[in-house]
Amino acid sequence: MIAVKSVKPALQLAYVKLMMDVIGRGLVMASQVDDEVKQEVSKFPAGFSLSMNVFPNGPAFVARVTADHKLELLNNYSKKPDLTITFKHLHHAFLVFSFQESTAQAFANDRMIANGDISYAIRLVRCLNKMESLILPKLVAELAVKEYPSNLSLKEKLTGAANIYLKVAQSYFTRSA
């Protein structure tokens, strides 16, 4: 019989790896369909690269701002990104990705490190918050973000979520084709 204690980190790793991929893709797709995220991304310089990872060699994604100010995921990126958000431990990433702790609370609890210009880190967190507010059910999103947008209508939420989910699903199919 396998001890639950030895399985738990493996399950956390699998879950965080999946969520890191979904969040990376969701952020890219939100930069294409949501006006607020588009506006935030437009303030990053073209060619700007950002990463989110788990220390030391855990799950990660790297994205770059294109010339038309949208995000694109990068594979096998070997340079140092302009901005890296690092979770100090897999369990810390699990807390955030399982919506037990908001990104803002994780920063406050010193569970994450921003390496790069802090104003860009704040901008990225705003993009993540908007994306999460759109794609997650309101009760879950309220746990995930510091402040749920009061002006987010049900129509905007459903339309935004549908567009992002559709594009994320398409990205899985086009990658494997």
Is the Cβ–Cβ distance between 95 and 12 less than 8 Å? no
Candidate ranges 61-65, 73-77, 106-110, 159-163; pick with highest mean pLDDT: 61-65
Q: Is 99 left (phi over 0), alpha (psi -120 to 50) or beta?
A: left
- Percent of the chain residues topping a pLDDT of 70: 94
Please tell me the least confidently modeled range out of 24-33, 95-104, 106-115: 95-104
131-160 average pLDDT score = 86
* CA separation for the pair 40, 110 (Å, rounded): 25
**For residue 163, what are the contacts with CB-CB under 8 A and spacing of at least 6?**
29, 33, 34
Q: Report residue 175's pLDDT band, with 50, 70 and 90 as the boundaries.
A: low
Q: Report residue 139's pLDDT band, with 50, 70 and 90 as the boundaries.
A: confident
Take residue 74 and report the two structure tokens written for it. Answer: 């990068």
- pLDDT, one tens digit per residue, over 5-43 is 544 888 999 999 999 999 999 999 999 999 999 999 999
Q: Report residue 1's pLDDT band, with 50, 70 and 90 as the boundaries.
A: very low
- Res 177: pLDDT: 45
112 CB-side CA count, 13 A: 27
pTM above 0.75, yes or no: yes
